[in-house]
Amino acid sequence: MTHRKAAGLQQIGSLLREAHPELIISKRRLRKVESIECVRLKRENARQNLGFSSRPFVLCGLPVRRPPEGALLHERRNGQFILQVIGHPSYGLPWGQDRLVPIFLATQAIRQKSPQIVFESAAEMLSTFGMQQGGSQYRRLVASFQRIFGATIFFGTDSQTERAAVVHRARFNFMTEARIWYSRDPEQKLLPGDCQNRIVLSEEFYREIQAHPIPTDLEASRALSSSPAALDLFMWLSYRCFTARGKERVPLFGAFGLVSQLGSTEYARPRKFREKLEGWLNLIRAMWPECPARIDGDGTGLFVDRATAVLTQEVAHARF
């Protein structure tokens, strides 16, 4: 559509951008809105695509942003639980969308009931999380796997008794072996010979997934894949609200506050963190309108209540 002007014709789109820029919706934003609507409809119809995450990365998030050059240690705390991630010197710490890899691995391990995960191609994982098919995305995926594969995880608890501190931690890696290939041809499912994609989870990681599989909504993970902090908060709230016995208050700040659990360390100012948190909550409520999480009146705590984010029969039998 065009608009006539003195020197000729002008695209109506450019006129609209000049006169009412607030009405312009980018393709990326439009895709996100469509994804959120899809999550909401499937939830209302109890047709959610059930996935799983592992407990360490629900209780404590991986880094949200790229860590500074040379930083190889990431630590988060959730009450008495402590997560430490040590990155490989050649690949660095996992961060950002790398958190989708453990979700994919945990989901496939539960579905296939085996620490040896087999899948058709890397395109399957890209499709699972709504990532575009192509060489650049595949290279990003390979880099994510390298950072995840090279990372060493310390996860456990510490508590203070009357006489001494009690510390219990487990050390593990995600995988012991990984072989992944990618084809631009969507019809090509397998390569000739013994070239199927295969990932072997470490015994410790597989045991943790089996003992504490945390249900999640894969469509929601897809919708929030470009917002890692909101994705962390959604998975944490799904778990926290399901296990709540009633209305409970979680502090936002301090050594045991929510700010110490999420994978973000740059929100040192309380006001900045509250602003970000409210934005993440609004995004989550768009997909899960009944989400009971609310920031308290003085802005120092988050109220949660018992609720269910994933409405499937399998969740009723999950072992948290």
Q: What is the DSSP string of 26-89?
A: -HHHHHHHHHHHHHHHHHHTT---EEEEEHHHHHSPPPSSPPPTT--EEEEEETTEEEEEE-BT
Sorting pLDDT into bands at 50, 70 and 90, what band is 266? low
| Percent with pLDDT over 70 in the chain | 78
| Element (DSSP H or E) covering residue 241 | helix 228-243
When pLDDT is averaged across residues 189-201 and rounded to a whole number, the result is 68
- In angstroms, the CA 253 to CA 267 distance is 11
Q: What is the mean pLDDT of the chain?
A: 82
When pLDDT is averaged across residues 161-172 and rounded to a whole number, the result is 53
Owner of token pair 């009357």: 162
When pLDDT is averaged across residues 163-167 and rounded to a whole number, the result is 44
CA distance to 25, 104, 133, per residue, from 88 (Å): 40, 21, 27
Q: Which amino acid is at 139?
A: R
- The reported pLDDT for the residue numbered 32 is 74
Least confident stretch, 34-43, 191-200, 300-309: 191-200
Q: What is the pTM of this model?
A: 0.82
